[in-house]
Amino acid sequence: HEEAVDNIKFLSTLERHFKNLAACTSFRDAAEMMPSIVNALRMVWIISRHYNTDARMIPLMERIVWLLCDKVAQAIDPRSILQTIAPRDAMKVCSEARQMLKAWETTYYDTRKRIEQSNRGDRWEFDKTL
């Protein structure tokens, strides 16, 4: 029971970030959300007694990645994108999608580096299993 209450407390702090990301219609806006999302994940990882393991954190991070990939797939259909919008606009959409995905990756690795430099015993090495 105590674990469930603790999990609800910490996961509810992430819920707002996930809802905002899910509702976001702009790749640029989504990219700007990455630092706050990853920071919230880091805080949960540091403070929570139950969400500080790979087994708990990896599924959270996977869900974020899946959401980002779904956003890209919904906006970019390689079979029809050049038929539905001008090539210049298609390049812009693809570039913004790439920047959003890159923002996730960069923010993750920057956070991982900060954790490593803090000399804390635990490390963020989730990418080794993703």
The set of residues, in sequence order, having a beta carbon less than 8 Å from that of 56 and lying 6+ positions away, is: 50
Q: What is the pLDDT at residue 48? A: 85
pLDDT range class, residue 104, cuts 50, 70, 90: very high
pLDDT digits (tens, 9 = 90+) for 51-85: 888 888 889 899 999 999 999 999 999 888 888 88
AA identity, residue 65? V
pTM, to two decimals:
0.86
Task: State CA 29 to chain mean position distance.
Answer: 13
Report which DSSP code applies to 121: S
Report which secondary-structure segment, H or E, holds 37: helix 27-47
Are 42 and 36 in contact by the 8 Å Cβ rule? The answer is: no
Q: What is the pLDDT at residue 4? A: 84
- Polymer length in residues for the chain: 130
